[in-house]
Amino acid sequence: MDKITIRNLTVFANHGVLPEERVLGQKFLVSAVLYLDTRAAGMQDDLNRTVDYARVCSFLCAQMQQPFQLIEAAAEHLAAGVLRNFPLVHRVDLELAKPWAPVQLPVESISVQISRSWHRAAISMGSNMGDCRGHLDAAVEVLSSDEMCRGCRVSSYLVTKPVGYTDQPDFLNGAMVLETLYTPHELLDKLQQTEQSRHRERLIHWGPRTLDLDLIFYDDEIISDERLQVPHPEAANRFFVLKPLSELESCWMHPVLHRTVAQLLARTEEPR
């Protein structure tokens, strides 16, 4: 993507582990690379179609006044703030330097460099206990109102037959696609917390549940560890996942099978 670069914005702030750092304050240097599409702004010579770097600088200065012990924490705060408050920015590379770092040795500066961006995630939803629509709507509300998520789109809901353990009521299923600043594992934690808020119990494998939220895709990443598998290992064979998701992102490519959601759905039969 195109870039707007801010180098060594000088800010006086009160970050530090030592008490005197938080009382007396010191100089910090903030550098940021903003990734966005500047084509329209360049072709039309229109400030409204790009990011006003003067506003970004003022924003960074203001946000630096919130004190942190660690410059790592301050950097996270700044990066997330830029991404949330300047919607055209898709990614930010940020460096926070501390020229007067108390290391008791000659050093030009100590700095932290991080890169943060928005990520696309696809989530499958299901419920077959209690107020099923209410449970799904509640999950949508939780994620839509989370400051770490944006652009939440929701499919229509459909009723499907249970798979695996069939001695249970039909499910109400849907899908969400959103952008998020959460890492995959942080998003998994958020989904599980949302399930627990609707009194989800894991008593029978594939059994009845008030709310089931599965992370299906996260960008085009492939993840496999003891807590999380992405793409979801069963998604490619599940009508109740693919049908709602096809309403939102029929061309999303499965990063392992190299087939789109629409292609996977075409070869998947609806349970009867």
Looking at the annotation, which residues are catalytic? 98
Distance CA 150, CA 90 (A): 12
Evaluated on CA atoms 168, 174, 175, 180, the torsion sign reads: negative
Phi-psi region of 230 (alpha: psi -120 to 50; beta: other; left: phi over 0): beta
Nearest CA-CA partner of 11 in 24, 26, 22, 33: 26
Coil vs helix vs strand at 240: helix
Q: Which residues contact 252 (CB under 8 A, 6 or more apart)?
A: 122, 217, 245, 260, 261
Distance CA 149, CA 181 (A): 6
Alpha carbons within 13 A on the beta-carbon side of 52: 8
Distance CA 222, CA 231 (A): 6
Q: Which residues contact 265 (CB under 8 A, 6 or more apart)?
A: 239, 242, 243, 246, 250
